[in-house]
Structure 1
Amino acid sequence: MFKNQFFASPGQVDGEPRRKGRVYAAIEVPELDDGLQPYEAEPVYLECVDTSWFNSFEASENGALWSKLFQAAPLSVLELTSYKLPLFPEGSKPGDIAWFEFGYEPASSSESDARIYTNLLSEGATVKISFHEPRPIGWAERGIIGEAAQALAKYNSSSSSQYSLKKRLARISTAGGVAFYDVGQGACQAAIDNELHIPQLYVDFGGGVLTNKKTFPDGFAGFCFTRDPMVILSHWDWDHWSSAQRWPEALNTPWLTPPVPLKPIQLTFAAELHERGSLHIWDAAWPGTITAGAVTIERCTGRTANDSGLAVTLRRRRNSPKNCLLPGDADYACIPSVVAGESFNALCMTHHGGRLHSPTYPKAKRGAASVLSAGPRNSYRHPLFDTVATHLEHGWSLPTGTALSGQRPCHVLVPWGGRPHILQGGCHGGMCATAVSAIAPANGKITKFARRRGDAM
């Protein structure tokens, strides 16, 4: 279980408090599209922490207890529904974290201009902004936020953990293909073995949150942890790790992550992993690329969190030409293998089919398959028509989407050298929704195989 109540499981989420509040709110300065403002058609979310807690933390002498103190941090998300996002501080550039102080008070739906969420899986409460004040760029780095990030990097990144993780990755079986799970507006993929057809490695562990919580399938029974699969986190956006809130047992497996952004919710989630000894941070001291067995991990080269995370390529086996690119939300121009001209058999379209900032796209091999992970009727309107069309122009097939069927969850399995299959996963004990045990009728061979092995799943 999580220590911080912001991450309470769905059944434990209470109603939102109806009271005034003052918060310090953080948001990343984004890349702009052709000089246009970035948030004109998308929801605007800021990560918040209560000002009184933050200020008392600043004044305390409990530096050694920072992770436990973060577990008690009063966190929230502020969505600006009609209140205009303030201008970023002068001199800010993409990838910087801009901070503001906001005040708000309860308001009816008709009078509100924002919404406050005290849990990623809550409904939120309507509020009216009473004031905002900017903070200079770098303001939080000089305080407890920066100290916490430094402590996380110090205690969770080492050459010894790099060695042990490479040994673990080298043992992973990927021969069954790559599974793309229906988690609504989010992302979760897995390497599948060809013996039991269960996850051996998760790449991201996300799902729909906040306004997009409704996109997460109601019938999702759970994730498979039979093989103690580790998690590679592409980047720290909530929708790429939030299923750990739904199934906290995921906190006990190793997580390999990019550096933690200087924002309160990500730092607190990282503190939860740190307390369990599960956090392994790929920082600047690590090499740009690691290959272990059939798994290659690359550090992306951009400036923002999306574009500076980890991209993963899975292969059928070590040195196999059969490969699948899992880019997270990274722009393709920030993935070294794509820039170098590598071609791929399969692809999860980056950023849920959302906006990209460059004309660079990965090369598709003959017969290559593409998959989209996006929730139905999500607030971002993903996938975007132009993004899908441009993938088609670059030789990629029309993507198979998670949640393609109205019978959900509806996952996608891409076997090596085969076409994508849609499936509803689940072991025969009914305890998970991710083992390959129920698949579309056209793919009966896998169905029969899974039934024969049902006692082992």
Structure 2
Amino acid sequence: MHIFRPYVLSRLALTKEEEDKMNRHFSRQNDSQPDVPSRAYGRVDHLERDDKRPNRVLLGIDLIDANWLDHQGVVDPSLDLSLPSEKLDRLWKVRIRSLGPGAANPFENAPLYRLELEIDAGDPLAQNLRVPHHQDPFSRQRVAAMERSWFTLELRPGANPDNPALLYGGLFAPAAPVTVKGAMPSEQKIAKALDQMFTLRHLTQLTSKDFAREVGTPHADYLAVYDVGQGNANALAVNSYGWLVPTLYFDLGAGVYRNAKTRPNDLRFCFSYNPVIVLSHWDADHWAGAYATLVNNTYPALKQKWIAPLQKVGPTHTAFAYDVKISGGTFQTYAGAGGSFGSVLLPGHRTLHYARGSGPDRNGSGLVLVVENNELPPPRSWLLTGDCDYADFVPILNPVNPIGMVAPHHGASLAPDSPIPPPAALPYRRLAYSYGHENAHGNKCPPTRHPTQKGTTAHANAGWNHNAWSLNKPGTTTPGGNVLATCEHAPGTSRGGAVIGWHSPPGPMTLSCPHKLCSAQCTQR
């Protein structure tokens, strides 16, 4: 039995003084359309493919106002793009050491944006962005190259029907239609300087041995898959006097930007055990839940210990990591290369295995967790994938008898390799899909939507029973069979999160916070 340590929930609105201490991009109270910058520096943050039109994609690009940054460089040497990259590196190493509770975030006032841009491989804008047009213009290797590159974009208000683009000034704010022109930075020196400013390398880097120590020994009696809209948030959890309490979070996401409407109202997570938060990768819908829970006039998620893979990131991600440090939390990166792995012994004859995916892009090089239970015969495991395809981690981790799995990338289409089949000898098994009601990726009608036909069909072919779901149009009703889903597209109701046990559906337990302080409930078994 575990002792539940309650905390007191305060009002859910920040004062103006409190709002002034955080970048406006992260504020839940930022509900206005953005002012459109004339120039911006950006790095590709996310890419969604169109299964029916492989030469067309939706690019998510992380932006900072170029004129603002150029001006700041005049008065702040650490933001001076004209300095040699070696000098900027030294300046930022010193500056990051000074970040702590109460310090100012270096990007507290930076105008940060998210651009969502739909392009074809052969159109002029794609050519300007140096995306070549060949058999697979958006191969994973090409996507990885784009994630490493910096772009200079020119923007102006107003829609362009050939390349629909939306500009967001905040995680949860409405968008403004814009027209975009762009190219790589004309000077390689600018790209190198941006790399020094917006990097995770200056945070504490963990080896495999360090990772095991920092994660600790969380209890893993239950696996929780939370309803956060179009995003991902999972937890290892315990039964504390009949209440489900997280001991470690794997992702803490929420619906953002185009899919902000999918986020449940007043989403609040439980931090009673001060759980470590392990981030699978840096897509915003996997960490934006940090700004969803407000307790005692602060964001408790920002006071926790965070561990994330060391990946290429942009201005918004860097500002978020620094927000954690100045809020009293810690942010460390796992520096293991793709294919690296390790293990942590947990209570109850259980083991936590972790690995970096071997894929070339951000999704495929993310962290994946496996919790193995050797207490019950035969051994069995839970699998938490983030957005990483099976092909990128199965040869490394090879989970034994997976009876609980969270589908990669919200049920998106997978690499050709089939998903892991359920164990034939164990009738209790659950496959969970985390996605948001009527989520949309792209402007065409209808847009790409998760879960996809290809993603669910691949799982069904591997032996996971989707029961009432039509694989031609998945996600439109309660699935049943082996499958749990956080919502349906029709009738479109959020269903609450899911909880998975080790040998059967969890028994009688209050699957919500006893003090009604947390709204992230798990109502499905």
Superposed pair shares fold, TM > 0.5: yes
Shift of 1:18: 4.5
**8 Å CA contact retained: 1:256, 1:280:** yes
Shift of 1:326: 0.5
SS of match in other structure, 1:307: coil
**Residue matched to 1:86:** 126
Cα distance, 1:342–1:89 mapped onto 2, change above 3 Å: farther
Q: Distance in 2 between matches of 1:194 and 1:323?
A: 19
**8 Å CA contact retained: 1:58, 1:143:** no
Q: Distance in 1 between matches of 2:246 and 2:381?
A: 17
**8 Å CA contact retained: 1:198, 1:434:** no
**Residue matched to 2:155:** 104
Q: Distance in 2 between matches of 1:393 and 1:111?
A: 38
Shift of 1:336: 4.1
**Residue matched to 1:61:** 77
Cα distance, 1:257–1:136 mapped onto 2, change above 3 Å: farther
Shift of 1:434: 3.5
Shift of 1:306: 0.2
**Residue matched to 2:434:** 373
**Residue matched to 2:32:** 15
Q: How does 1:203-214 map to 2 (within 5 A)?
A: 203-214=250-261
Q: Distance in 2 between matches of 1:137 and 1:332?
A: 38
**8 Å CA contact retained: 2:112, 2:316:** yes
Shift of 1:89: 2.6
SS of match in other structure, 2:239: coil
**8 Å CA contact retained: 1:352, 1:383:** yes
**Residue matched to 2:144:** 95
Q: Distance in 2 between matches of 1:424 and 1:103?
A: 53
Cα deviations across residues 124-158 of structure 1 (Å, max 9, x unaligned)? 122333x3233379766511433542xx3244114
**Residue matched to 2:270:** 224
- C-alpha RMSD of matched pairs (Å): 3.5
Cα deviations across residues 26-76 of structure 1 (Å, max 9, x unaligned)? 215969899x97562x53321111112333455642334367323332110
Cα distance, 1:389–1:173 mapped onto 2, change above 3 Å: same
Q: Distance in 1 between matches of 2:402 and 2:68?
A: 49
**Residue matched to 2:286:** 240
Between 65-74 and 189-198, the greater mean CA deviation after superposition: 65-74
Q: Distance in 1 between matches of 2:430 and 2:501?
A: 10
Cα deviations across residues 151-181 of structure 1 (Å, max 9, x unaligned)? x32441145x954x53464421111x21110
Are 2:518 and 1:432 equivalent residues in the alignment?
yes
Q: Distance in 2 between matches of 1:395 and 1:38?
A: 27
**8 Å CA contact retained: 1:354, 1:384:** yes
Shift of 1:19: 4.9
SS of match in other structure, 2:423: strand
Are 2:403 and 1:345 equivalent residues in the alignment?
yes
SS of match in other structure, 1:412: strand
- Amino acid of the structure 1 residue aligned with 2:484: T
Q: Distance in 2 between matches of 1:157 and 1:318?
A: 33
5+ residue gaps in structure 2? Answer: 1-17, 79-90, 100-104, 133-140, 294-298, 442-448, 467-482
**Residue matched to 2:110:** 73
Between 166-175 and 320-329, the greater mean CA deviation after superposition: 166-175
- Amino acid of the structure 2 residue aligned with 1:179: A
5+ residue gaps in structure 1? Answer: 444-457
Are 2:227 and 1:188 equivalent residues in the alignment?
no
Are 2:204 and 1:156 equivalent residues in the alignment?
yes
**Residue matched to 1:305:** 362
**Residue matched to 2:451:** 383
SS of match in other structure, 1:143: helix
Cα distance, 1:343–1:93 mapped onto 2, change above 3 Å: same
**Residue matched to 1:120:** 171
Cα deviations across residues 401-448 of structure 1 (Å, max 9, x unaligned)? 012586545111111112489999432321102466xx46xx7xxxxx
**8 Å CA contact retained: 2:152, 2:182:** yes
Q: Distance in 2 between matches of 1:9 and 1:186?
A: 18
- Amino acid of the structure 2 residue aligned with 1:61: P
SS of match in other structure, 2:236: strand
Moved over 6 A (4+): 29-34, 108-112, 136-139, 317-320, 420-424
Q: Distance in 2 between matches of 1:423 and 1:217?
A: 23
Shift of 1:80: 2.3
**8 Å CA contact retained: 1:141, 1:262:** no
**8 Å CA contact retained: 2:266, 2:292:** no
Cα distance, 1:30–1:383 mapped onto 2, change above 3 Å: closer
Cα distance, 1:252–1:124 mapped onto 2, change above 3 Å: same
Q: Which has the higher helix share?
A: 1
**8 Å CA contact retained: 1:174, 1:316:** no
**Residue matched to 1:5:** 23
Q: State the TM-score, normalizing by the size of structure 2.
A: 0.72
**Residue matched to 1:451:** none
Q: Distance in 2 between matches of 1:349 and 1:172?
A: 23
- Amino acid of the structure 2 residue aligned with 1:309: G
Cα deviations across residues 161-206 of structure 1 (Å, max 9, x unaligned)? 954x53464421111x211100010000111113342111111000
Cα deviations across residues 348-407 of structure 1 (Å, max 9, x unaligned)? 110111122232422321333211001111103000112111111111232210125865
Q: Distance in 2 between matches of 1:280 and 1:421?
A: 37
SS of match in other structure, 1:356: coil
**Residue matched to 1:284:** 336
**8 Å CA contact retained: 1:307, 1:329:** yes
Shift of 1:233: 0.4
Are 2:248 and 1:201 equivalent residues in the alignment?
yes
Shift of 1:299: 1.1
**Residue matched to 1:448:** none
